[in-house]
Amino acid sequence: MNIMGSGLREIVGFGISSSQHDRPWAGFEELAMPLFDSLYNYARWLVHNSTDAEDLVQETYLKALRNFASFRRGTNFRAWIFQILRNTFLSSCSKLERRMTVAMDLEEDFPALPATSATPESLLIERSRNDAVQCAIEQLPVILREVILLCDVEDASYREIAEILSIPIGTVMSRLARARKTVRKTVRCEGVFQEAAP
């Protein structure tokens, strides 16, 4: 993604000068920019498209910056901005679904495999497993997908997930258990079909 290393002023289209510390958004960049990669990854999983993910993250940062004055200092900023991203996604779901197309992932979308002494066959098997898990997660309903992504991909705590999704911790644990069970079942079924194929 082109804008990953750039400062917040390029993302949102205007700058925050150091002389503006008395402004309501003072300190926003220090809190927000370390979360950029995590927000993008989460958005990418939600919308299945890098362009839409970039748009979603940009809109999230704009909304967060505009509403930063309402953020209570000392509370969980990560949960606050992830909740903005999720709400932005949900409110624009119908618009994104109309524009989404099924596209083949390009080689450059995946990280390069590390140089190891593994055989090509073992690398292919590992990639197949990763692809199967990714496909199984993408097939989950959004309410299960977002919980498993926040917990297992973004390492958010149950409490953070509950804050982000505005649900009780018990519901987080229940949805996470269902999501993991469904992913395991889907991957196991795909494995059976792959082994049975000629």
> Is residue 24 pLDDT above 90, yes or no?
no
Domain containing residue 148:
117-198
Which amino acid makes up residue 154? E
Q: Is residue 111 situated within a structural domain?
A: no
The residue ranking higher by pLDDT, 18 or 40, is 40
Count of structural domains within the chain: 2
Which amino acid makes up residue 63? K
**Contact call for residues 21 and 30 (beta carbons, < 8 A):** no
Per-residue pLDDT, 168: 93
| Distance, CA of 17 to CA of 86 (rounded, Å) | 29
Q: Is residue 185 situated within a structural domain?
A: yes
| CA 32 centroid distance within chain | 15
Report in angstroms the alpha-carbon separations of 67 from 12, 24, 74, 78, 125.
Answer: 14, 9, 16, 14, 47
Q: What is the CATH number of the domain that holds 124?
A: 1.10.10.10
pLDDT in tens, 65-120: 888 888 888 888 999 999 999 888 888 765 545 554 444 444 444 454 454 456 66
Per-residue pLDDT, 181: 92
Per-residue pLDDT, 72: 85
Do 97 and 122 fall within a single domain?
no
pLDDT in tens, 113-147: 454 456 666 566 666 676 777 888 888 888 898 89
Mean pLDDT of the chain: 75
Do 88 and 142 fall within a single domain?
no
Q: Is residue 58 situated within a structural domain?
A: yes
Do 124 and 49 fall within a single domain?
no
Q: Is residue 92 situated within a structural domain?
A: yes
| Percent of the chain whose pLDDT exceeds 90 | 26
| Distance, CA of 157 to CA of 49 (rounded, Å) | 26
The residue ranking higher by pLDDT, 124 or 186, is 186
| CA 119 centroid distance within chain | 32
Q: Is residue 74 situated within a structural domain?
A: yes
Specify the range with the lowest mean pLDDT, choosing from 46-60, 127-141, 168-182.
Answer: 127-141
Do 98 and 143 fall within a single domain?
no
Q: What is the CATH number of the domain that holds 88?
A: 1.10.1740.10
Which amino acid makes up residue 66? R
Do 83 and 132 fall within a single domain?
no
- Token pair recorded at residue 196: 């049975």
Q: Is residue 15 situated within a structural domain?
A: yes
C-alpha neighbours within 13 Å on the C-beta side of residue 80: 18
Determine the length of the chain: 198
Per-residue pLDDT, 57: 93
Per-residue pLDDT, 173: 93
Q: Is residue 191 situated within a structural domain?
A: yes
The pTM of the full predicted model, rounded to 2 decimals, is 0.58
